């Protein structure tokens, strides 16, 4: 069973994470595939902004929420 990549549109940039702040945590809406319409929290490497479209290799997994220190 092959996993189909799915496009997702970023609806909110939550914040930065990672040791050096190089990872952005975003909420994105899956645009196609089995989980179409679902909004998931993901970690994305590199600069992103709202309405960017990213490709998710799997749309089931969700990132943990960033904790304030």
Residue 38 lies in a domain: yes
Q: Give me the DSSP letters along 31-52.
A: -SSTTTT-EEEEEEES---TT-
CATH of the domain at 42: 2.40.50.140
Residue 13 lies in a domain: yes
Mean pLDDT calculated for residue range 1-24: 89
* pLDDT value at residue 56: 93
User: In terms of residue numbers, what domain contains 45?
Assistant: 6-56
Query: Residue 42 in contact with residue 29, Cβ under 8 Å?
Result: no
Among the listed residues 25, 29, 40, 33, the one whose alpha carbon sits nearest the alpha carbon of residue 4:
33
* pLDDT value at residue 6: 92
Enter the pTM of the model. 0.84
Q: Would the pLDDT of 2 be above 70?
A: no
Q: Would the pLDDT of 69 be above 70?
A: no
Query: Residue 37 in contact with residue 9, Cβ under 8 Å?
Result: no
Q: How many structural domains comprise the chain?
A: 1
Q: Would the pLDDT of 37 be above 90?
A: yes
* pLDDT value at residue 58: 87
Q: Would the pLDDT of 63 be above 80?
A: yes
């Amino acid at each position: 069973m092959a996993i189909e990549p799915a496009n997702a549109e970023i609806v909110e940039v939550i914040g930065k994470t990672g040791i050096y702040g190089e990872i952005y945590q975003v909420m994105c809406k899956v645009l196609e595939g089995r989980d179409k319409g679902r909004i998931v929290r993901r970690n994305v490497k590199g600069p992103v902004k709202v309405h960017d479209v990213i490709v998710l290799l799997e749309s089931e997994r969700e990132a943990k929420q960033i904790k304030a220190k």
